[in-house]
Amino acid sequence: MSHDHSSEHPFDAFNILIKQMPEPSAQAVAAVRARDAQLTKPPGALGRLEEIVEHLAAWQDKEMPTVERPTVVVFAGNHGVTKQGVSPFPASVTEQMLKNFSAGGAAVNQICATWGAGLKVFELALQIPTKDFTEAPALETRECAGTVAFGMESIAGGADLLAFGEMGIGNTTSAAAIYHALYGGKASDWVGRGTGLDDEGLKRKAAVVERAVALHKPHLTTPWEVLRRLGGREIAAMAGGILAARMERIPVLLDGYVACAAAAVLHAIDASALDHCLAGHLSPEGAHAEVLRRFGKKPLLNLGMRLGEGSGAAMAIGVVKAAVACHRDMATFASAGVDNKA
Amino acid sequence: MSHDHSSEHPFDAFNILIKQMPEPSAQAVAAVRARDAQLTKPPGALGRLEEIVEHLAAWQDKEMPTVERPTVVVFAGNHGVTKQGVSPFPASVTEQMLKNFSAGGAAVNQICATWGAGLKVFELALQIPTKDFTEAPALETRECAGTVAFGMESIAGGADLLAFGEMGIGNTTSAAAIYHALYGGKASDWVGRGTGLDDEGLKRKAAVVERAVALHKPHLTTPWEVLRRLGGREIAAMAGGILAARMERIPVLLDGYVACAAAAVLHAIDASALDHCLAGHLSPEGAHAEVLRRFGKKPLLNLGMRLGEGSGAAMAIGVVKAAVACHRDMATFASAGVDNKA
């Protein structure tokens, strides 16, 4: 007997929220632009730092945007598809790395500490991996919807800037399958080396993605079904987190290849669902550049990082902090006694 | 009577130093690589953050590199060429902005404060602008050499990472002239909008650069002569600072279009003179991308900033801090009990 009663439409609640998403504040953006024009610099000279401040103002609805409580939220999940040999690391590493996050030993811990950012880590039923999606849907409908809802709850705590990250051996395979299902093309277009696959492993991974998408194709009637059948718990939770951030007017920094698979599900439902997000970092993994192009977003950073953990987005928190500090604390032409243009 | 007695060769002292430049420490790099291989991440997954740590180790000659005293050094100078109408801002702004730096009101102040970086600002004879280099050499030989030497002294104070920045209305014209003199091509290849020239101003600026380089061409026998005839005091001082940092094994983050004109002078004397430098930020100004290509350097950041003040390089200090924090504070596979590859 299945727990999946489609008559209950467990994803409907999220669809209703998506229809009620708040819009950017034109008034806050106008206030930022008016102040920016008075700061002791040529117009536009801070480049994307100015764009960042406008973005924060628009979504926080604050004429003076803040980055006082930037928070990285990391979700960890295990993947049944690992039994197809898609990662050079054993699945046990997911739980071990979770302990490493808790003990403060991972890369994302050090990056957050550098900026004074908060870090929250959530374990998502690590003892119950998703089903191997080459054989069956990765998650039951209620399991998937419940995990999206859990991700929505995860943002509680007063953050004014959020980044979502993940840990899950096998999850670049899941992300590739989501992209292939949403965007078409060939499976090999969307697959990358993950934690370090060799050429043979890469071919195997592409074949796994191709087989999985072919199996589920007749049932991929909505982006939620793509998430449920090909995703993972950490990907579902990130989708919930990104959506909840929008509802709460908290700007989001998107992380890399896997985190953007969660974003892609929302984007496929409503192309404006990521308007509150900035792309934090371009991953060299697989097709991340193409995914960002489809989102219409230019990454703030391109540092060759391909670690997951939200580490790329976490790096971008520093950029946002500096941008806000410039806007908030710079002198004006009048206050500093500096002549404006001749 | 001229103060320029070429028989004394005032630049010879710098040429001797350049021949004695220290080399990177292979031992420190090997130690960094050995530790990196043990950190709880796939090999290479931190991308350029790993490259940054190796660079710091190599030049600091420290097996565990540090960023405890990052310092931005800003030099301000005035330019006789401003009388040719090459900037929309009056020359008086140079001194006004210097006061703004001292009062903590400029962009670079806020960026340094964000990372806890030090900021030192030096005024270089603002009441005596350089000569208009469309008519005469910008600086006398001893004046130029003395300013290079002043720049060398400026790094005193125990910095373990340096960035050099500048303020000087008119100095993008000077930088363009230096590039045109060193690299050839057309004047218009090297000229940009600076603080915000319109199309007509841009044409005028290119004509000024073309005329100046044509005037001095027969005398541009060494890169020092290029600096002296077409440069400015802040550019000369930055060249001294970059060279002194090399002698003291302090890694440097290169700023944008004007700061790289100082670097270009050293690079033209010895192609290895910038080996201790990382490109901090790609400026959209003029031909900065082409200059970095000639240096063989890929910028850490590309945020569309075109402000000067060392602000682009100052932004990159945050990236370096996070890179060092990851290398220094991450757990190892053994200490965290994380399985390495299967």
Q: What is the DSSP string of A229-267?
A: HH--HHHHHHHHHHHHHHHTT--EEE-STTHHHHHHHHH
Over 50: is that where the pLDDT of A2 sits?
no
Interface test with A, best of B329, B333, B335, B340 (most A CBs within 10 A): B329
The candidate with the shortest Cα–Cα distance to A194, out of A342, A82, A115, is A82
What pLDDT, on the 0 to 100 scale, is given for residue B1? Answer: 42
* pLDDT reported for residue A286: 73
Sheet arrangement for strand B252-254: B118-123, B70-76, B161-167, B252-254, B277-279
CB pairs under 8 A between A and B: 198
The pLDDT score that the predictor gives to residue B98 is 94
Chain B residues touching A48 at Cβ < 8 A: 303-305
Contact A113 B329 (CB under 8 A): yes
Query: What are the pLDDT digits (tens) for B202-235?
Result: 999 999 999 999 999 999 999 999 999 999 999 9
Write out pLDDT tens, residues A289-335.
999 999 999 999 999 999 999 999 999 999 999 999 999 999 999 99
Decide if A47 and B109 are in contact by the 8 Å CB cutoff.
no
The pLDDT, as a whole number, for residue B2 is 46
Mean pLDDT of chain B, nearest integer: 95
Per-residue confidence (pLDDT) for residue A46, from 0 to 100: 98
Residue B182 has pLDDT above 50, yes or no: yes
The residues of A that are catalytic are: 309
Average pLDDT over residues B62-90: 95
Burial of A130-142, coded b for 16+ CB within 10 Å and e otherwise, reads: bbbbbeebbbbbe
| Whether the predicted pLDDT of B5 surpasses 50 | no
Work out the angle between the directed axes of helices B259-269 and B288-295 (0-180°, nearest 10).
30
Question: What number of CA atoms fall less than 13 Å from residue B18's CA on the CB side?
Answer: 21
Here the tokens at position A240 are 């919930």
Determine the distance in angstroms separating the CA of A92 from the nearest CA of chain B, rounded to an integer: 8
Residue of B nearest to A41 (CA): B307
What is the Cα Rg of chain A in Å? 20
Question: In the predicted model, what is the mean pLDDT of residues B180-188?
Answer: 97
Say what percent of chain A tops pLDDT 90: 92
> Using one digit for the tens of pLDDT, what is the confidence trace for B231-254?
999 999 999 999 999 999 999 999
pLDDT at B8: 61
State how far residue B136 is from chain A, nearest Cα, in angstroms. 26
Asked if B109 lies within 8 A of A46 by C-beta distance, the reply is no
Provide the 8-state DSSP code for B218: G
One-letter amino acid of B259: A
Q: Express each pLDDT in A226-273 by its tens digit.
A: 999 999 999 999 999 999 999 999 999 999 999 999 999 999 999 999
* B-chain residues near A104 (CB < 8 A): 329
Question: What integer pLDDT is reported at residue A340 of this predicted model?
Answer: 84
Mind listing the pLDDT tens digit for each residue in B269-316?
A: 999 999 999 999 999 987 999 999 999 999 999 999 999 999 999 999
> How far apart, in whole angstroms, are the C-alpha atoms of residue A95 and residue B109?
43
The answer to whether A97 contacts B40, with C-beta atoms less than 8 Å apart, is yes
pLDDT bracket for residue A194 (50, 70, 90): confident
- Residue A3 in this model has a pLDDT that exceeds 60: no
Note the pLDDT tens digit of each residue in B139-162: 999 999 999 999 999 999 999 999
Q: How far apart (Å, rounded) are the C-alpha atoms in residues A56 and A277?
A: 10
Q: Are B280 and B299 in contact (CB under 8 A)?
A: yes
Predicted local distance difference test score (pLDDT) of residue A89: 87
Cβ of B111 and A47 within 8 Å? no
**pLDDT of B6 higher than 60:** no
Measured between alpha carbons, how far is B137 from B239 in angstroms, rounded to an integer? 18
* Residue A26: CB atoms within 10 Å: 10
Name the more confident of A279 and B340: A279
pLDDT score of B40 more than 70: yes
User: Of residues B50, B123, B285, B309, which has the active-site annotation?
Assistant: B309
The pLDDT of residue B275 is: 98
The model's confidence at residue A83, banded by pLDDT at 50, 70 and 90, is: very high
The more confident residue out of B297 and B192 is B297
Complex ipTM, two decimals? 0.95
Percentage of chain B with pLDDT > 90? 92
Burial class (CB in 10 A: 0-12, 13-18, 19+), A28: buried
CA of A216, closest CA in chain B: separation in Å?
Answer: 30
Position B133 pLDDT exceeds 80: yes
Give the pLDDT score at A8.
61
pLDDT of A342 reads 56
Q: Which domains does chain B have, with CATH numbers?
A: 12-65+326-336 (1.10.1610.10), 70-319 (3.40.50.10210)
> In terms of pLDDT, which residue wins out, A53 or B3?
A53
